[in-house]
Amino acid sequence: MKLNYTVAAAALMMPLSASAEELVGYHGWSTTSEISALRVLIDAFEAQGNTWVDLAIPHESESNLGLINLITGGNPPNIFVESNPGVYRDLMAMGYGQPVTDLFNDTGVTENLPDAVLQSITVDGEIMKIPTGIHIDGMIYYNLDVAEAAGVDPAGWTSVDDMLADFDKVAEAGYMPIAVGGQSFQVGYLFHALVAAVAGPDIYYRMYQDQPDPTVFDEPAIKEVIELVRTFSELADEGSMNRSWSETTNLVITGQALMHLHGDWMKGEWRAAGKVAGEDFGCINIPGTKALSVTVDAFGILGGVDDETLAAELAWATIVVDPVNTAAFSANKGSSPIRFDAPADALDICNTVVLDALQDPTKGVQNPFNISDGDWHNSIWDVMFNFWSDPTMTSDEAIEELKYSYDAVFG
């Protein structure tokens, strides 16, 4: 369904209470930070006289399968949370999916998006996703009190070697240098974040794409990243195995560890604990980073069954990408706004770190889920988690396992 510009204009210009609509929103958000962020958007939508009907599923559920089942069962939602481009391709093949290319181009949205965001929301030449917030898959959040007590300054690190060199001082001061959680998800994210930061965008995209370049496994930088993963696994405390990311972050929040290298959704946990960026905690990109792996949360529109419904759906899209709303949403979610022109007074120091880095269009690379075969990146997770869990496995053996997995997936 191509966007009807007349309807889009109506969505922007007329008071929507004159044609108030009820939209069903399908999502898997459930944490306090997620729900409070969503509430920002719902309140703005309902202030226009419309109604939001919440259709929430457990976070761990296969949301894309549920979406398809709702459609084929005759109960499709209007709005859904989904970032996987393959889902949009499937929907378009079924005759669903509403592009917002014209709406974003003609209302000044596109020109204010970081390149990494625009890449993420574009599927086969059309803007199909409505971005809500930017997450960096691997940032360092650190406890300022612990840093002071240990006599270290993470903001001064210029390389990973600088960071590792300070770990002895942290341990001697009685703190864990780094909190780590032993789960496949956490190890997988750590690995691809390090590939981006340490190996750089060229090698990253040779590793993560529809058809990876098998020569990438012999790059010295890949071995360097794997050996860094081993270094972090050796720093794990006894309770790390199967510990969730939020529990791991809590070790830093409560002053037991200096830092956590994980996705910047950590900030939601800090905020929920009443902590303030720049006062209680600091945030930096991986020292010496060459590229940032970027995750962009997004809504999709299934497509209105009539002009009034479509107008309401496009009004929702406009609300989501509004500069003020994206800043408020991100403040609650723990993400960064998706627009460079978000109000400066609504940004914290972590947002500034992210948006400043993404001013360089070469600095952001796409989350593997957005660009690579699902079987492939899942197999990378398996290999790296096996490596993490088996201290006798060498980096060379891990590389051979990656090669074997490549052959198994791609033939």
Q: Please, what are the domains in the chain?
A: 5-134+296-356 (3.40.190.10), 139-293+366-410 (3.40.190.10)
Average the pLDDT over 276-289 and give the result: 97
Residue with tokens 């399908």: 26
pLDDT at 268: 85
The contacts found for 8-15 with CB under 8 angstroms, 24 or more apart, are 8/102, 8/103, 8/106, 8/314, 10/307, 10/311, 11/103, 11/310, 11/311, 11/312, 11/313, 11/314, 11/315, 11/317, 11/318, 12/107, 12/314, 12/315, 12/318, 15/48, 15/49
In the predicted structure, residue 359 carries a pLDDT above the cut 60: yes
326-335 pLDDT tens trace: 999 998 888 9
- State what percent of residues in the chain have pLDDT above 90: 85
Tokens linked to 205: 């995209």
In single-letter form, the type of residue at position 74 comes to G
Average the pLDDT over 271-282 and give the result: 94
- Report d(CA 332, CA 330) in Å as an integer: 5
- Report d(CA 32, CA 9) in Å as an integer: 35
Confidence of residue 18 (pLDDT cuts 50, 70, 90): very low
pLDDT, the chain, mean: 92
Average the pLDDT over 357-380 and give the result: 94
DSSP secondary structure letter of residue 199: I
> Three-state SS string across 330-343, please?
HHHHCCECCCCCCC
pLDDT at 272: 85
When comparing pLDDT for 353 and 30, which is higher? 353
**Positive or negative, the Cα torsion across 90, 92, 97, 101?**
positive
In the predicted structure, residue 59 carries a pLDDT above the cut 90: no
Tokens linked to 72: 């084929």
E strands present in 158-303: 176-179, 257-262, 281-285, 292-301
In the predicted structure, residue 372 carries a pLDDT above the cut 70: yes
pLDDT at 62: 60
- Report d(CA 272, CA 32) in Å as an integer: 8
In the predicted structure, residue 273 carries a pLDDT above the cut 70: yes
- Report d(CA 294, CA 117) in Å as an integer: 8
pLDDT at 16: 34
Report strand pairing: 79-81 vs 292-301: antiparallel
User: Residue 406 — φ and ψ, nearest 5°?
Assistant: -60, -45
- Report d(CA 403, CA 331) in Å as an integer: 42
pLDDT at 25: 96
63-86 pLDDT tens trace: 678 898 899 899 999 999 999 999
Confidence of residue 378 (pLDDT cuts 50, 70, 90): very high
Confidence of residue 60 (pLDDT cuts 50, 70, 90): low
Question: What is the pTM (predicted TM-score) of this model?
Answer: 0.89
